[in-house]
Amino acid sequence: MSPENTRVAIIGAGPAGLLLSWALRDAGIDSIVVENRSQDYVLARIRAGVLEQSAVETLTRLGLGERIRTEGLEHDGIYLQFRGERHHVDFQELIGRSVTVYGQQEVVKDLIAAHNAAGSTIYYEAADVAVHDLESSAPRVTFTHADEAHEITADFVVGADGFHGVCRASIPREAITLYDRSYPYAWLGILANVAPSTDELIYALHEDGFAMHSMRSPHVSRLYLQVDTADSLDQWPDERIWENLHARLGVPGWTLQEGEITDKSITPMRSFVASRLAYGSLFLAGDAGHIVPPTGAKGLNSAIADVTMLAAALAAHYADDDALLSGYGEAALRRQWRVQQFSQWMTDLLHRNRTDLQTMEFDYQSQLGRLDYVTGSVHAQRELAEQYSGLPF
């Protein structure tokens, strides 16, 4: 057994855990990160792609902005497409804000490079991770690493271990309520080696379902299609994917360029919020505490927002001011519910719900009416721009 001591023990080396550890280091607070996957696995995981302006500001302030500045693609708005017509929503013109397309994988790569250079303690491939004594002021984390049993005692434990992690599940069932909403469709996402056919992201509602054109670089496109929840990847050979993307994203006088597909995955859509993000000496951050459907591009940004607030609260605690830390759970939750309603709205607005034959066609026409309203009203566009580009932390 190797007993260790640190101020903050962080479970999970996703963007939330890695960024929190980095922000704490910046504030002179030591932490240890415990992750159950390998470093290579964490680096290879392809997920979100859009950073809000506040997320870019946080990363830049913490010295992680170099590659975002040189390789990130700053977008002034998005396109909304319906009835085969494409409408530009110009955030910059509407509210003077923008977003940056920079893959989550790149954020994680920058964080791991920074931690490795600084010699941070991160245990990858930790097995049987468990948290204990959360009601006390000396919580513990136990795990096995390289066949050796480990125990870390800390002042606080942070659950940054994603939706399926162990931390949220360690809060007694009677002390927490889980709010959940699933959606009757999923996203099939691809990465393709081809220059994006668009300058900014296209979100399209089509009779056949939702489609989106995003990107990762001037040479790599990221595209998504609404598929059925029961669909598997073998039902979606490359030709069928391109055929559907052409049909749903096509507008007269514009061509979607095809390229070699290098990654393909299907993601279910879920809205989920835990009623508390703080319990005793445990704090939850990121997907461990809440999940959004991806339509509003809020998953990664919410993780960064939580961590920005939590790092500031922990820094204040060690400077003898507890107000922020005792208010973290509530402040992060209130912010999260504002993000939840936006993600739910974007999702309902842009997907075909075919579960109720009786209301299906009415709902589709009503969605088109809503899109007509949004694209025709500067007030509605401002509301969209403000929420998409991000609430201040």
Q: What is the DSSP annotation of 268-337? A: EEEEEEES-SEETTEEE-GGGTEE--GGGS-HHHHHHHHHHHHHHHHHHHHTT--HHHHHHHHHHHHHHH
Q: In a 3-state reduction of DSSP, which class is residue 164?
A: coil
Contact 103, 46 (CB under 8 A): yes
Among 37, 97, 352, 354, binds ligand FAD (CB under 6 A): 37
Subset of residues 19 to 58 that bind ligand DHB, contact rule: CB under 6 A: 48-50
Closest C-alpha among 114, 103, 92, 85 to residue 23: 114
Interstrand relation of 178-193 and 220-227 (parallel, antiparallel or unpaired): antiparallel
CB of 7 to ligand DHB, least distance (A): 34
The interface region with ligand FAD, picked from 11-19, 149-157, 195-203, 358-366 by CB under 6 A, is: 11-19
Q: Which is nearer to ligand DHB, 19 or 300 (CB)?
A: 300
Interacting partner of 295 out of ligand DHB, ligand FAD, none (Cβ under 5 to 8 A depending on kind): ligand DHB
Regarding 305 and contact with ligand FAD (CB under 6 A), the answer is no
Closest C-alpha among 55, 73, 384, 44 to residue 215: 73
CB of 50 to ligand DHB, least distance (A): 5
User: In angstroms, what CA-CA distances link 244 with 171, 188, 236?
Assistant: 44, 11, 10
CB of 67 to ligand DHB, least distance (A): 17
Q: Which is nearer to ligand DHB, 263 or 361 (CB)?
A: 263
Q: Which is nearer to ligand FAD, 350 or 360 (CB)?
A: 350
Regarding 214 and contact with ligand DHB (CB under 6 A), the answer is yes
Regarding 6 and contact with ligand DHB (CB under 6 A), the answer is no
> Annotated catalytic, 328?
no
Subset of residues 257 to 296 that bind ligand DHB, contact rule: CB under 6 A: 294-295
Catalytic residue among 294, 317, 328, 351: 294
Catalytic residue among 15, 75, 224, 293: 75
User: In angstroms, what CA-CA distances link 60 with 51, 54, 55, 65, 103?
Assistant: 12, 10, 8, 4, 15
Regarding 159 and contact with ligand FAD (CB under 6 A), the answer is no
Contact 18, 112 (CB under 8 A): yes
Rounded Cα–Cα distance for residues 122 and 113 (Å): 12
Site of interaction with ligand DHB (CB under 6 A): 48-50, 201, 214, 222, 294-295, 297
Tell me which residues touch ligand FAD (CB under 6 A).
Answer: 11-17, 34-37, 42, 47-48, 104, 126, 129, 160-162, 164-166, 267, 286-287, 294, 297-300, 303
